[in-house]
Amino acid sequence: MNNPLHEYRATNSQGELRMSHLIINSLVVICFAMVGSGCTSYTSKPPINEHFEPKTKETISNFTYEIDSPWKDSRFRKSAYEATQKIIPNAQDNSSQLTPTPTPTPELEIKISEFSSGGACVQDYLTGLSLGLIPSWCTRSRVFKFDYILNNNHGFCRQKTYSINSTVFSHLTALPFALLSTENQPLTIYQAALKDFLQEGQCTSR
């Protein structure tokens, strides 16, 4: 004959065990969420004004566009290309032009380099293990690099490189902002960098 008290204790123990597993799993999820989420800000070197609008700019009739990324289907590739077309709408893209004879040097050469962040920083795990109570900052150098070359009828005119760094702030209070943020700041910086470079200016020597 089954003892009702034993059955109650067994059922209660199973319930407590399931509850413990649920709590542990929830804490693990929160921990990883804190490690993978944070408010990210980007800076450019040399610094540029993200809302800069030049009064005059170079007239570009053709350009080439190249991006080097560790990801085959980089989302930045498409969005940056579309932004380029909006800034120089009348320019022809000669990037994939295949002809048996050498093509003329493009007026504008664009090369974007996108780098892997390398995963979370060590201090991010401290924030995760503390469930977001301990804040952390993680700075990564050169997550993007924008290279621009301007050519004219005489050949090379000028060149400029913009290196983009990122800083991630992780804390419990930053999690809602990270989840709700829809701004693509690297794209905004790319647009500002291209506009900055295309200001009318003097040619320089290599």
The answer to whether 59 touches 199, Cβ cutoff 8 Å, is no
> pTM of this prediction?
0.71
pLDDT at residue 132, rounded to an integer: 58
The answer to whether 125 touches 84, Cβ cutoff 8 Å, is no
pLDDT at residue 148, rounded to an integer: 97
CA torsion through residues 32, 35, 40, 45, sign: negative
pLDDT at residue 128, rounded to an integer: 60
Q: What is the pLDDT along the chain (206 residues), one digit of tens a residue?
A: 555 545 544 455 555 556 655 544 444 444 444 444 567 788 999 998 877 777 788 999 999 999 999 887 888 999 999 999 999 999 999 987 655 455 678 899 999 999 986 666 666 656 666 555 567 778 888 899 999 999 988 889 999 999 999 887 765 555 554 444 445 789 999 999 999 999 887 787 66
> Looking at the DSSP assignment, which residues form a beta bridge with residue 68?
113
pLDDT at residue 52, rounded to an integer: 72
Amino acid at 105: T
Helices 122-129, 4-36: axis angle to 10 degrees equals 150
What is the rounded distance in angstroms from the CA atom of residue 62 to the CA atom of residue 110? 11
What is the rounded distance in angstroms from the CA atom of residue 116 to the CA atom of residue 114? 7
What is the rounded distance in angstroms from the CA atom of residue 144 to the CA atom of residue 105? 25
